[in-house]
């Protein structure tokens, strides 16, 4: 049995996970991110212990504890180097948690953990895998030779911050033209809002009653499914940006499988089919085995399952 912790800016989530990657029990507490790291680390530990004890599992039966956290993680030193949404900098989370849990504790970036969770649950003899998640930003995780790759300093794998359009839209990271600025759901929402402002009498605008606050990632998709040309144009342009970046990632890593996650991935074949066709047409490699693209399977559980298996990967 393993314990896993998903540390977020709003909530601390813990799970008891078995050898097959099944989450047996869960616990949750608010992060209250304004607090000092000592209090947050204590709640992380107590939340994990609660997940085990309320399932009737002794801590003696726990092999290890895994932590997924936003930001840059140094597992060797057991610190969160930097996580802006929790205001952590060089924070010694492992040593603090070991005041309450006397078990090996492994740490990883939350997107890396999600990638590992998806990889583990594929249950295939596969050496390379890339996970791309489309959400508020564009995140990802890379697995090479069965191990997470995060660069020599733990900060690698920032797939959302390669330049897609030189001198393009400003990204939250400070650069212009990042993949994230165009292919994230935030980018999709921004494009939808702009189209509504320019076309206030459109069907697309009527879906949100001309209230830009009501625009979400699904708004343009809903319009497109109803046959609206403006909605279709926005969706096609957004899928085009997503496809360009995924083609770049395939050309660089040539993974056996690339999985696309995030809530928008529930659109399924609506996005997977055109992305696959684009990659098939524009990939650099031609006469060799090709990367298989698929929709991620685990949803919000991917991070917990991946964190549980950090000790093995």
Sheet of 79-83, strand order: 72-74, 79-83, 88-91
The four Cα atoms 181, 186, 187, 188 give a dihedral, to 10 degrees, of 160
Token pair 């970046």 is found at: 245
Please give the CATH number for the structural domain made up of 2-103. Answer: 3.30.420.40
Q: At a CB cut-off of 8 Å and minimum separation 6, what does 262 contact? A: 133, 134, 135, 185, 296
pTM metric for this prediction: 0.87
Measured between alpha carbons, how far is 86 from 24 in angstroms, rounded to an integer? 28
The answer to whether residues 77 and 59 touch, using CB atoms and an 8 Å cutoff, is no
From the options 1.25.40.20, 3.40.50.1970, 3.40.190.80, 3.30.420.40, give the CATH code of 125-296. Answer: 3.30.420.40
Domain locations along the chain? 2-103, 125-296
Gyration radius (Cα) of the chain, Å: 20
pLDDT of residue 287: 81
Whole-number Å distance between alpha carbons of 21 and 19: 6
CA distance 43 to 62: 18
Contacts of residue 263, defined as CB under 8 A and 6 or more positions apart, other chains included, come to 135, 185, 217
pLDDT tens digits, residue range 61-97? Answer: 999 999 999 889 999 999 999 887 788 999 999 999 9
**Domains 2-103 and 125-296 in one fold:** yes
Distance CA 178, CA 155 (A): 17
Q: By the 8 A CB rule, do 179 and 160 touch?
A: yes
Provide the pLDDT for residue 153. 85
Tell me: the pLDDT tens digits for 257-296?
999 999 899 999 999 999 999 999 999 988 888 999 999 9
- Report which of 256, 253, 188, 178 is spatially closest to residue 224, judged by C-alpha positions: 188
Mean pLDDT of 292-308: 94
Give the least confident one: 208-212, 243-247, 267-271: 208-212
């Amino acid at each position: 049995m393993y314990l896993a912790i998903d540390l977020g800016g709003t909530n601390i989530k813990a799970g008891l996970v078995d050898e097959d990657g099944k989450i047996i029990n869960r616990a949750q507490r608010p992060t209250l991110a304004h607090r000092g790291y000592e209090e947050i680390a204590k709640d992380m530990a107590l939340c994990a212990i609660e997940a085990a004890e309320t399932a009737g599992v002794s801590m003696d039966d726990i092999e290890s504890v895994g932590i997924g956290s936003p930001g840059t993680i140094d597992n060797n030193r057991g610190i969160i180097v930097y996580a802006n949404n929790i205001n952590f900098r060089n924070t010694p989370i492992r040593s603090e948690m070991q005041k309450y849990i006397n078990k090996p504790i492994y740490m990883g970036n939350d997107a890396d953990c999600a990638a590992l969770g998806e990889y583990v649950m594929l249950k295939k003899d596969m050496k390379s895998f890339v996970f791309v998640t489309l959400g508020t930003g564009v995140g990802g995780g890379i697995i090479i030779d069965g191990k997470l790759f995060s660069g020599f300093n733990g900060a690698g794998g920032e797939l959302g911050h390669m330049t897609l359009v030189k001198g393009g839209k400003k990204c939250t990271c400070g650069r212009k033209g990042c993949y994230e600025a165009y292919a994230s759901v935030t980018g999709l929402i921004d494009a939808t809002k702009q189209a509504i402002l320019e076309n206030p009498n459109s069907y697309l605008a009527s879906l949100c009653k001309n209230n830009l606050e009501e625009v979400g990632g699904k708004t343009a998709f809903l319009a497109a499914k109803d046959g609206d040309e403006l909605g279709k144009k926005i969706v096609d342009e957004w899928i085009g940006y997503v496809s360009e970046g995924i083609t770049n990632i395939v050309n660089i890593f040539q993974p056996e499988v690339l999985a696309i996650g995030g809530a928008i991935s529930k659109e399924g074949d609506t996005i997977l089919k055109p992305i696959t066709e684009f990659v098939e047409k524009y990939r650099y490699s031609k006469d060799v085995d090709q990367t298989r693209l698929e929709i991620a399977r685990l949803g919000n559980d991917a991070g917990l399952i991946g964190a549980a298996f950090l000790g093995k990967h």
